[in-house]
Structure 1
Amino acid sequence: MTAQAAALAVQDVWVRAGGRDLVRGVSLEVAPGEVLGLAGPNGAGKTTLLRTLYRARRPSSGRVLLDGHDVWRMPGPWLARRMAAVLQETAGDFDLTVYDVVAMGRTPHKRAFDGDDAADRAIIAAALDRLDVTGLAYAPFDRLSGGERQRVLIARALAQQPGTMVLDEPTNHLDLRHQLDALALVRGLGVTAVVALHDLNLAAAFCDRICVMDAGAVVALGAPREVLTPALFTDVYRVNADVTAHPETGVPQVTLRTGHRDPAI
């Protein structure tokens, strides 16, 4: 049974390392079942912030709350049953099959040394099928392409049956069809999700709100049509862009002006 979607709150989080502030006073709230897109240029602090959410990097100050519980004060198994992370690190230097990797998603729900029972196997099979990797189930994970690995890691998160998901560039390496499928899957699960994306057209199409970071701080937060403006692209990304509404859906669409560049930018 999938965990209940939780309310996620980030309260004045700072992350300092090597004498630099990587994340600077970030505060935001994600409602149960909401999909929040996390955007910004390289080095903006997106991955560092995500790492504080799933306890891979302790914040220097501030708190991360899941349904009011400070995730850094709760036991690891408590968080693992409620939150799954899909990361960019997909190097496969271990001797596991695709099935083994997806089956790891069941670990938080079992006692040590417990094997997979019929219910576990059904959940694993369903996750493999949802991500279109059933045919790779017994292939070595370390021999997959980057896109195949990414789909397997999303399948592992799905097998975990979390109520909250943190995804760092989940569409990385995926072809167009699987990019759309992966984000539609997250959107359709009803979980609380924070998704780091570089493709702002995908973020506009699949996210309820978009949070834009720059130099470790939040510089814009709101609905896609409020956040994605030509001024944002000039100020944050240092590029010229046109933003129009899709004629059928009304979703903002970003078109970069690649033919010329304003010398002032």
Structure 2
Amino acid sequence: MTGGAEGLRAEHVTVAVNGRPLVRDVSLDVAPGEVVGLVGPNGAGKSTLLRTFYRALRPTSGRVLLGGDDVWRMPGKRLARRLAAVLQDTGGEFELSVYDVVAMGRTPHKRAFQGDDDTDRGIISAALAELEAAHLADAPFDRLSGGEKQRVLIARALAQRTGTLVLDEPTNHLDLRHQIDALRLVGRLGVTAVIALHDLNLAAAHCDRICVLDGGRLVAAGAPGEVLTPELLAEVYRVDAEVGEHPRTGLTQITVLPDRSSAKPGGGPVDRR
């Protein structure tokens, strides 16, 4: 990435839609080059908060700062040179080739109607190669599988060459290997990144710090091993879980225990036919 990593900060961000608060007074700091995982149950406010970072949704109150600059006070093109986003929606209606979709990442760095030069073409090709999607370059984007589309959209964000990435469930639709490869790539880039994830083990393995949202509020933040405790998982996710260190990697590992009420007496499986 050519853009330097910058700090990203939410200051007392509240978002209400039709009078209903979706995010409530959230403050968090992401240091330059830090990878932060944003986790929480469905409806916790993760996507809503991320939308305020890339200016898809204006906070009802509070502000978002990138490198000390209010994102809502800077020109959109300037923000796009400094921050790239990968959204949950795969945008399946694009009537473009894969190459053209990834080339859209170069738009913030150009004048109106300026074509691709050799530098742009090199960046686009490198981004596709990073996501193992070079062979898809000429394919129609709207005919790809969900996983292929997701890899192409991550490649588009890489082609944008910013120092900050905001990723909303980037592992959606990806198989296990590509999930791991995508998150390893983010860590390898040296950028500032905020990643909304549902898989807590992936978050623990690939994020420097974890921030937990519940009911629109930030309820915990810190290193994975400090935050992802059995007590927090019971309170926020309503599950019984064991948390420990993986014997080979030393990483925090979460094992959700089965709900005993879902089993027959004697331990037999429940017939759900």
The aligned amino acid for 2:184 is A
C-alpha displacement of 1:249 = 2.4
Task: Provide the C-alpha distance between the structure 2 equivalents of 1:61 and 1:77, rounded to a whole number of angstroms.
Answer: 24
Residue in structure 2 matched with residue 132 of structure 1 by the alignment: 132
How far apart, in 2, do the equivalents of 1:134 and 1:261 lie? 49
Q: What residue is the counterpart of 2:267 in the other structure?
A: none
Cα distance in 2 between the residues matched to 1:261 and 1:232: 21
Distance (whole Å) between structure 1 residues aligned to residue 36 and residue 136 of structure 2 = 31
Give the letter for the 1:172 counterpart.
Answer: N
Q: Distance in 1 between matches of 2:166 and 2:132?
A: 21
Q: Deviation above 6 Å: which 4+ runs of structure 1? A: none
SS at match of 1:243: strand
Q: Distance in 1 between matches of 2:182 and 2:261?
A: 34
Deviations 1:102-145 (A, max 9, x none): 00000000000000000000000000000000110010000000
Alignment pair present for 1:230 and 2:227: no
TM-score (structure 2 length as normaliser) = 0.94
Output aligned runs, 1:160-175, within 5 Å: 160-175=160-175
Aligned equivalent of 1:209: 209
| Equivalent residue number for residue 15 of structure 2 | 15
Letter in 1 for 2:235: D
| Matched ranges for 1:22-37 at <5 A | 22-37=22-37
1:253 equivalenced with 2:253 (yes/no): yes
Number of aligned positions between the proteins? 262
Taking a change above 3 Å as real, the CA distance of residues 261 and 228 of structure 1, as seen in their structure-2 partners, is farther
User: Quick one: distance in 1 between partners of 2:112 and 2:122?
Assistant: 20
SS at match of 2:260: coil
Mapped partners of 2:160, 2:198: distance in 1: 26
Letter in 1 for 2:94: F
The answer for unaligned runs of 5 or more in structure 1 is: none
- Cα distance per residue 1:217-236 (max 9 Å; x no partner): 00110000000100011100
TM-score by length of 1: 0.97
* SS of residue in 1 equivalent to 2:186: helix
Corresponding position of 1:93? 93
Cα distance in 2 for partners of 1:41, 1:162 equals: 29
Give yes or no for the alignment of 1:111 onto 2:115.
Answer: no
Distance 1:261 1:51 in 2: 39
**Cα contact 1:240–1:261 (8 A) shared by 2:** no
Distance 1:187 1:258 in 2: 33
SS of alignment partner, residue 21 of structure 1? strand
Determine the structure 1 residue equivalent to 2:49.
49
What is the 5 A alignment of 1:1-12?
A: 2-12=2-12
| Structure 2 residue ranges without an equivalent (≥5) | 263-273
